A and B are shown apart, each in its own frame.
Chain A
């Protein structure tokens, strides 16, 4: 995983969000425009240039109690304005495993 510090050097190339895991239960969360977190990608604040991305990340990392491992992740915005994960890893984080998890026999 890329640490926030290393990401300082990274320039984003498309729409991005900040994501992390929620401290108390580990759930995948996204930084919102209201300086909070949501488990729903559609609530995420979208950043489109590197300065905004860095600022959103800095603000997110500052919430060490609420979230762990915050980083910038790519998203795609559909024509209808829907936010979708930008790669398979983020798709799996957002939508769950691609395998059926075992159900009690």
Chain B
């Protein structure tokens, strides 16, 4: 975990009192909504259909048990007893009252969490691999660099009024769990020939109306130059990015319009002016931040403890373990993914009671740490393998042991028309119906890894473009329709899915997805060929035929 310093705490507290005053002035009429809107957005407060929505940042997805309990308290005290974990390592509360928001912020500030830069045209919460610091084969803990970026960009005046929102993601593993190729800047931590830490820098990725996969702008930027290089990119963006048209304002459009070579050249020129400035990272500063991350005192444990051998006879345990426990960099430990996708439930939602119970389990079994991933699941990053059976039983009791991680019912879905004022169509009930259709674990297991992503409008908060199957809500004559794409992916081989044909009505979506999955089962060349690979090999035609032949 990272320990915040005094400066951070002061800043967060000052921000709360400032916002308390702003809310007071808004409620008394001293501030108009026009004046207030930008202030509330700077504190993560949106207006949705039923109420205000409050978005809280979970920097690089790391939470302490204490922080998770504070989130549970906010859910219970100021909301309706639950929260929604999002694809950007945030949590959202859907029923918050403006008048109570300052209190909620104050409760969160006590445990060092806040809502700054979770909305508005600024640098958003820097996201990272939810397995950072524990993934086997990881080059280095990317959270150190996420934290350096977080500190540098928080309330930085130059980054507070960008042409549009700006998102950075970092990974330090070969397998990209942070979806860096769909971010404005993607950073892949690597080492050069001399063993020095640096980054492959990608730029211009994003989803929404005009989706792009990020392109590499520089194959290696030395760690000490990370801030100056990122700043050079942002300066070029600030200078040329379009402020006249919201649909063209993201950096991806600029990169696309200038071309990556021209864009890279502009950045390089800017960087030459900045690279040997005060932005150069002093190794001592990096070390100081590194030293603020504490790692658990791992025990020396056997690879295969007796507890695990015994429990392996229980098929239900074994099913969960195979699905949810992943290799850890330290022998005898596992990373455990907690599915927030129980059959029939809204993806990513957790109740206050579940959060509290999970915080207790984290204290008992994971050195008090919890992680949040972009798939809208949680993780306990350091579980001793001998504790897996006990953990499983405890998770099962609180409804958090659904063994469907990475399977067809592990769906990413945005709030859609049930909550969101921008939506064309509902997302959550589609996800709920699909989890019921694929509730049979043996079938889901047979199907294998398959990511279904659902967005209620083209803004793509549910990452539909990069779902193996993507579902996008559109509106036709006042009715909900859905466009279906297949073959997208969000990992190191990220690509956008391909539309299979005309949009289908609400009532038919689940049938269509079942048809697509059945077609895949018939077409795959072996059990080992994943859905996306079959689509890659055969293209969309056979799937299209199957879906539309009878419709």
The interface of chain A, by Cβ under 8 A from chain B, is 1, 21, 23-28, 64-65, 68-69, 87-89, 92-93, 96-99, 101-105
CB distance from A57 to the nearest CB of B (A): 15
Question: What are 27 of the A-B contact pairs (CB < 8 Å)?
Answer: A23-B98, A24-B98, A24-B99, A26-B48, A26-B50, A26-B52, A26-B96, A65-B28, A68-B33, A68-B47, A69-B33, A87-B478, A93-B50, A96-B50, A97-B428, A98-B426, A99-B418, A99-B429, A99-B432, A102-B82, A102-B346, A103-B81, A103-B351, A104-B82, A104-B352, A105-B354, A105-B399
Bound-state CA distance A101–B75 (Å) is 13
Query: Nearest chain-B residue to A61 (Cβ)?
Result: B33
Given contacts A26-B98, A64-B33, contact A99 B50 (CB under 8 A): no
* Besides A89-B417, A104-B352, 16 other A-B contacts (C-beta < 8 A): A21-B51, A23-B33, A26-B51, A64-B32, A65-B29, A88-B478, A89-B49, A92-B417, A93-B49, A96-B50, A98-B426, A101-B346, A102-B82, A102-B349, A102-B350, A104-B82
Q: Does A105 lie within 8 Å of B398, measured CB to CB?
A: yes
Q: Does A1 lie within 8 Å of B399, measured CB to CB?
A: no
Q: Does B480 lie within 8 Å of A88, measured CB to CB?
A: yes
Q: Does A24 lie within 8 Å of B29, measured CB to CB?
A: no
Binary CB contact string for chain B from 423 to 453 against chain A (1 if under 8 A, 0 otherwise): 1001011001000000000000000000000
Q: Does B29 lie within 8 Å of A25, measured CB to CB?
A: no
CB of B353 within 8 A of chain A? yes
Bound-state CA distance A103–B344 (Å) is 13
Bound-state CA distance A102–B345 (Å) is 8
Bound-state CA distance A105–B76 (Å) is 13
Bound-state CA distance A102–B346 (Å) is 8
Chain B, interface residues (CB within 8 Å), range:
35 or more
User: Which A residues touch B480, using CB under 8 A?
Assistant: 88
User: Which B residues touch A68, using CB under 8 A?
Assistant: 33, 47
CB distance from B23 to the nearest CB of A (A): 9
Instruction: Find the residue from A87, A96, A97 having the highest chain B CB count within 10 A.
Output: A97
CB of B80 within 8 A of chain A? yes
Q: Does A92 lie within 8 Å of B418, measured CB to CB?
A: yes
CB of B419 within 8 A of chain A? yes
